[in-house]
A = this chain, B = another copy of it.
Amino acid sequence: MSATTEQGPVPRERDRAPKQDRSRATRQRLLEAAVACLAEHGWAGSTVAVVAERAGVSRGAAQHHFPTREDLFTAAVEYVAEERSTALRALFPGGPAERRAVVAALVDLYTGPLFRAALHLWVAASNEDQLRTRVTELEARVGRETHRIAVDLLGADESRPGVRETVQGFLDMARGLGLANLLTDDTARRDRVVTQWAALLEDALG
């Protein structure tokens, strides 16, 4: 086969980058569609075919990127969690910031579509062994990263006894607030809890 066809020259080195960009863009569309789909329809209603259609991608292309349903949805939750972590750090470019603002921003991680999607995945994983191992690993990675961000932005000194557990308990509280927001809009109550616990954390973290 010659380097030239009727459609023009065969792609060479300089054309590879755009092709990689397109592939990456397709992958991102699939990941974002997967999280939106999980949040709206739950695990039972979320198949690779439904996500591919939502993303405007062929089913074959979706399966090229993600061979199994488990691959697609765990990658999707991890990708969106990383995006949110990056956005959260970008909110406080100077590092440690005013505690009320940091507490509110951390709690916000658990009130959107990402948390709903992750919750559907966790609950499905609790009854499906194959999914369970994958989601447990994912949850550990995302949990460690969120803890690291919380420690940094709260300016918490983990060498002091009890500080690590204080931050952990606060992140458990944030997750619980996310759960309380699942069926109803809990914003007003949540704001009061955030204000009070930001003050308590101020005392506890010094």
Bound-complex Cα distance A40 to B203 (A): 42
Please give the count of copies of this chain that the complex contains.
2
- A-side interface size class: 35 or more
A44 within 8 A of B: yes
Q: A142: which B residues are within 8 A, CB to CB? A: none
Determine the distance from Cα of A172 to Cα of B168 in the docked complex, in whole angstroms: 13
Pair B168/A189 contact, Cβ less than 8 Å: yes
Min CB–CB distance A50 → chain B (angstroms): 14
Residues of chain B with a CB closer than 8 A to A91's CB: none
Answer whether residue A61 sits at the interface, using C-beta atoms and an 8 A cutoff.
Answer: no
Q: How far is the CA of A196 from the CA of B162 in the complex (A)?
A: 6
> Is the CB–CB distance between A179 and B176 below 8 Å?
yes
Any B CB within 8 A of the CB of A193: yes
Q: If the complex has contacts A42-B127, A199-B162, A204-B200, are A180 and B175 also in contact, measured as CB distance less than 8 A? A: yes
- Are B169's CB and A172's CB within 8 A? no
Given contacts A126-B116, A136-B183, contact A166 B42 (CB under 8 A): no
Cβ of A105 within 8 Å of any chain B Cβ, yes or no, is no
Chain B residues within an 8 Å CB radius of A189: 168
Q: Which of B42, B176, B180 contacts A123 (CB 8 A)?
A: B42
Given contacts A126-B182, A135-B183, A172-B193, 8 further A-B contacts (CB under 8 A): A42-B123, A119-B123, A125-B183, A136-B183, A136-B184, A172-B177, A176-B179, A200-B200
